[in-house]
Amino acid sequence: MSRERRLLSCLLFVVSAFGAAWVGLAYYSIAAIQTPTSHSIIQTTDIDSGARRNVRWLVRPDPNDVIHNNIYWQQQQGSSESHHLYLYSAYVDTRIGSLTFVRILGMSQNRLTKTTQCYCILWFNNTQSGLYVKATLNHIWAAEWGYRDNLYAPYLFSCLVPEESGEGHPRHVSLVLNQSDKPTNILPIRNTERAEFMHNSDSQKEKEKRREKQFAVCVKGMNFEEDISRQLVEWIELQLIFGATKLFIYKYHVVSNVEAVLGYYADKAVVDVIPVTLPGDQPNSVHIRTKYIKDNVSQKRRNEVMIYNDCLYRAKDVFDYVVLIDIDELLVPTANETWEALMSTVQLISRAVPVVSTYKRGANTVRVKTSQFSSFSAQNAYYFTDEPCQNYTDVGYFLKYVTRNESFLREGYAIKSFFDTNGALTLFNHQVIHPMPGFSRTFNIPTSLAQLNHYKLSSQIENAVPIRDNALLKYKDKLLQKITTVEKALKLKHKNGV
């Protein structure tokens, strides 16, 4: 039995002797993640002898039994049509000590209740039998945003791989709502080989050598019926100049020029283009989907959360940080030129500022003191797209906008963040929703070190006070050279330089 499991068994004894309130902090620090709305990622019955009681062997689903939905999703039938699950992806997670989890990302047709029980069937290699274990769930949403029961809701389903399985990491997983349900899904677990290396290597130096200490950028589903290719070229080149190694760009629909841009960078292995659709009965024809996304903002946000978390789990074994950002935003280092230099400074500052985070566990409040942060947030500065600098109107998009609102938005409002891939269980576009054990939610980066340039019309900003800010112009020469090279290679044609 591993050290974490033995310690958890001891903690259970402490609970019976002294009460759950006292042990809450210790239990949290080892294996549980407090959520505002749902269960912890580990339940004690799942990690000791209870796990063996939950094991059952089943027959692997026949391909004809798998219900595919809108190309990229698999459907698990619920007890009624209002409780179907639409499953998108699955990953191995070995970030908590010696424990191994399978994480499944999916959406429920209507929000699940807190008493909902789900079960994973873990499939090892190509065997026909699977290991049946209890799953726990996190609703990837915050209570303060409000709940709507008539929308597709995003979830992370977590399944602890029993230590007694002795078969390494599973290769596929199915999820069912009841023990008696027939599985109509079987998801490939995408990062198994990488996770096995990270988990089994005896040499920390070897791990560090194999691990790329760099940044990944995540872009929510692109859905553009207009040509944004020039803006996109400049935006991608800026991410690369800042220090991004890989961009994961999810795509619903784009026009041919934008397809050409994405293909160009995909061929250079700096962009992964990930086609995506909406699950369930949401529309996926181009024009209808565009209107649907515009008219259904609450559902749009929930769909985006699913994509952001898939990107986190794609990147977590390779990159130190992920940045979730839109193509009308730039996360600009102001005291340095690269994100790597910026974050070296920010990490030093943040470690000197221990924070006491408060978590609710039932009726008890648990306080955790930590100097580790799961995200590092830059304040929002609105740049005005109706006030271009005349020197750059013929070349470039972002470079020509050098006027912004005088004041930054307050801390925590419309921010964008660097997410520590070891510190986030679930997240949304601004900061972490559920941090990992021992991590606080976010550290606010001083505006003297970084800012979020967010490009909008000045008429959209209440009481705007324009000032000039040349924070981006230090990249001008390198950026213009790269833009020219790409546009010549692609032979892109634009109207009025836009």
Q: Which pLDDT value is given to residue 199?
A: 57
pLDDT band, residue 78 (cuts 50/70/90): confident
Q: Which of 421, 433, 399 is nearest to 156 (CA)?
A: 433
Mean pLDDT, range 264-275, rounded to an integer: 97
Give the per-residue pLDDT at 208: 54
Per-residue confidence (pLDDT) for residue 209, from 0 to 100: 57
How does pLDDT run across 95-105, given as a tens digit for each residue? 998 899 999 99
> What is the reported pLDDT for 365?
66
Q: How far apart are the first and last CA of the chain?
A: 62
The number of angstroms, rounded, from the C-alpha of 37 to the middle of its chain's C-alpha atoms is 18
Mean pLDDT is lowest, of 5-14, 214-223, 385-394, for: 5-14
Q: Summarize pLDDT for 317-363 with one digit per residue, the tens.
A: 999 999 999 999 999 999 999 999 999 999 999 888 766 666 555 56
Cβ 398 vs Cβ 381: under 8 Å: no
Cα–Cα distance for residue pair 76/121, rounded to 1 Å: 13
**pLDDT digit string, tens, across residues 165-224:** 667 789 999 999 988 889 999 999 998 776 666 555 554 445 455 455 689 999 999 999
Q: Decide if 395 contacts 480 (C-beta within 8 A).
A: yes
Q: Which helix (H) or strand (E) holds 76?
A: strand 73-76
φ/ψ (deg, to 5) at 416: -130, 155
Residue 164 has pLDDT above 80, yes or no: no
Q: Are 144 and 97 in contact (CB under 8 A)?
A: no
pLDDT for residue 392: 60
Among 30-39, 272-281, 338-347, whose mean pLDDT is lowest? 30-39
Q: Which among 121, 122, 100, 125 has a CA at the least distance from the CA of 47?
A: 100
Nearest to 451 by CA among 350, 378, 377, 402: 378
Nearest to 436 by CA among 72, 98, 30: 30
Question: What value does the mean pLDDT of the chain take?
Answer: 82
Across the range 214-241, mean pLDDT stands at 96
Residue 3 class from Cβ within 10 Å (0-12 exposed, 13-18 middle, 19+ buried)?
Answer: exposed
Decide if pLDDT at 453 tops 70: yes
State residue 144's pLDDT score.
Answer: 78
CB atoms within 10 A of CB 367: 10
- Per-residue model confidence as pLDDT tens digits over 239-260: 999 999 999 999 999 999 999 9
For residue 34, the model assigns a pLDDT of: 31
For residues 3 and 9, what is the distance between their CA atoms, to the nearest angstrom?
10
SS3 content of the chain, % helix, strand, coil (to 5): 30, 30, 35
- DSSP codes of every residue in 85-123: EEEEEEEEE--STT--EEEEEEEEESPPPTT--EEEEEE
Phi then psi for 12, rounded to 5 degrees?
A: -60, -40
For residue 90, count other CB atoms closer than 10 A to its CB: 28
**Residue 489, pLDDT above cutoff 90:** yes
pLDDT in tens, 132-152: 899 999 999 987 787 887 899
Q: Any residues with CB less than 8 A from the CB of 488 and at least 6 apart, and which?
A: none
**Nearest-CA neighbor of 55 among 183, 168, 164?**
164
Q: What is the CA radius of gyration of the chain?
A: 24
Of 441, 437, 440, 439, residue with least CA distance to 97: 437
pLDDT(457) > 60: yes
Beta strands in 329-463 (DSSP E): 329-333, 355-361, 364-370, 373-378, 380-384, 403-405, 416-420, 424-427, 432-435, 440-444, 450-456
Q: Between 172 and 438, name the one with better pLDDT.
A: 172
Of 301, 343, 324, nearest to 424 by C-alpha is: 324
Check if the beta carbon of residue 489 is closer than 8 Å to that of residue 264: yes
- What's the confidence (pLDDT) of residue 463? 87
Residue 331 to residues 246, 342, 454: CA-CA distances in angstroms?
Answer: 15, 11, 9
Share of the chain above pLDDT 90, in %: 59
32 or 86, higher pLDDT: 86
pTM: 0.84
User: CA–CA separation, 278 vs 292, rounded Å?
Assistant: 11
